[in-house]
Amino acid sequence: MLRGTREHVLHGEERVLYARNRLLPGSKPAVSGGKPITEELATELRVVAFGTASCPPRGEWIRTPLIMRPADQPLGYGLAAPRNGTRSLLAGLQAHIIKWLLFDSRPVTKDNKSIEPPDSYLRPSEDRQEEALWRACSEVIWRCGGGFTAQGEAKATIALPTDSTYVQHSSQYYQDGITEKLHLFEFKSLEDIQIFLKRYIHLFQSEEGAGALLLLYAAMLSRGCENIKKDLDGKLTHLVSALVEGSLNVTTLLLTGRATPYLHNGVQYVGDEDHYAMPQFGVLSRSPVGLLVWYGVEENVAATINKPGSRLKTPALPIWVTCCSGHYGVLFNTNRELLRNYHAERRFDIHYYTCGGCHVLLNVDTRAHEDLGPMRTDDISATPLEKLILTKWQEAKITWSGATPFSGESPN
């Protein structure tokens, strides 16, 4: 059964319709157990996420499920969603889905090479799509809860909607149909999260559901609302911005477990002759998935100072979330040795994908020869995507292999 998206024109408006989940209504396990949300926590979640609880969040957060494209197809590894404010979150999740499909789930030989052609793992069956989804969500949530670090005791929280309403509509709290119906579940191990999400992943996938919001809330609850406010360091009053495709702070929360606005390595102390030097906490450890950012010329000049450090530009695996003039996507290479082998990084292909269905293949040649005609980030003929790639591989020669027939968006 088709599980991807089909675009239809209805009354002059473009809509994205989702195929229904494979599970029959009677076979979907009902949410049981957990603790009902309190009015205080519901209000805090909405305020920290969206800035207020007295107005509803933007509609896309209530209506964006986590849906994969048709299985066993060239873009079967990809999430499918319209362009809206959830993109910054979906791009972070998409990177982790690719990470599991390409690297975590692939058996390797003694020389660290794949037994099967890498591209075969990018056409997963429906079962592997679903497993990739709950494993990627589990990893993101566990990292936000302090997992994968040696500091302190890790603990994660997931909130799922029920049929009961625990917070009434008032002038201080505007019901959104999800937040006031949540039950909270706490976990102290990644394995327990995986078992739980495997059982309830259909709530994230349901076309009537709010999978993106549920993942955002799980990340926030696991990190802690107070910690998120500290992460933002006064740079933002709340986590989700009004930008068309969302906030970079949501992306850093999923990639690093912290909603930091600072992308540099480690801690930097910033001050002047009139103020004490204050610490700015950036990326504290090497990220398994990276981040590349290109600010267009229309951006505030001060924003260009906030550039990713090496811990984001050179992650453990060749996968990067990209923010290119406010547009989010994922760059990835199928060779796990790309960032560890100088020879592999001399010339290679790299994929670019967005949740809108855009996929292009580019060739990056880093060999310093005059006849290659190296590009520069100040080259006016370079596209924004090329300029973004050049922030990682300076003066490389970038060649487009052309968009695939499955493209649904412009690659910038």
Give the tens place of pLDDT for each residue, 206-225. 987 899 999 999 999 999 99
How many Cα neighbours within 13 Å face the side chain of 63?
11
How far is the C-alpha of 41 from the C-alpha of 225, rounded, in Å? 9
Helix axes 126-144, 211-223, angle to 10 degrees: 30
When mean pLDDT is compared across 15-19, 98-102, 144-148, the lowest value belongs to 15-19
When pLDDT is averaged across residues 17-45 and rounded to a whole number, the result is 76
Q: How far apart are the first and last CA of the chain?
A: 32
For the cut 50, the answer to whether the pLDDT of residue 300 exceeds it is no
Token pair of 121, please?
């793992």
In which band, very low, low, confident or very high, does the pLDDT at 10 lie, cut at 50, 70 and 90? very low
Residues 160 and 13: their CA atoms lie apart, in Å, by 31
Is residue 143 within 8 Å of residue 256, measured between CB atoms? yes
Residue 56: Cβ-neighbour burial (10 angstroms; 0-12, 13-18, 19+)? middle
Tokens representing residue 276 in the block:
């004490």
pTM here?
Answer: 0.88
Those residues with Cβ within 8 angstroms of residue 240's Cβ, 6 or more apart along the chain or in another chain: 49, 50, 51, 57, 58, 61, 85, 216, 246, 247, 250
pLDDT at 239 over 60: yes
Mean pLDDT of 289-310: 72
pLDDT of 114 strictly over 70: no
Whether the per-residue pLDDT at 313 is higher than 60: the answer is: yes
Evaluate if residue 32 carries a pLDDT over 60: yes
| Model confidence band, residue 248 (pLDDT cutoffs 50, 70, 90) | very high
| Calpha distance 393→333 (Å, rounded) | 14
Q: Please provide residue 180's backbone torsions phi and psi, each rounded to the nearest 5 degrees.
A: -75, 0
Q: Which pLDDT band, with edges at 50, 70 and 90, does 28 fall under? A: confident
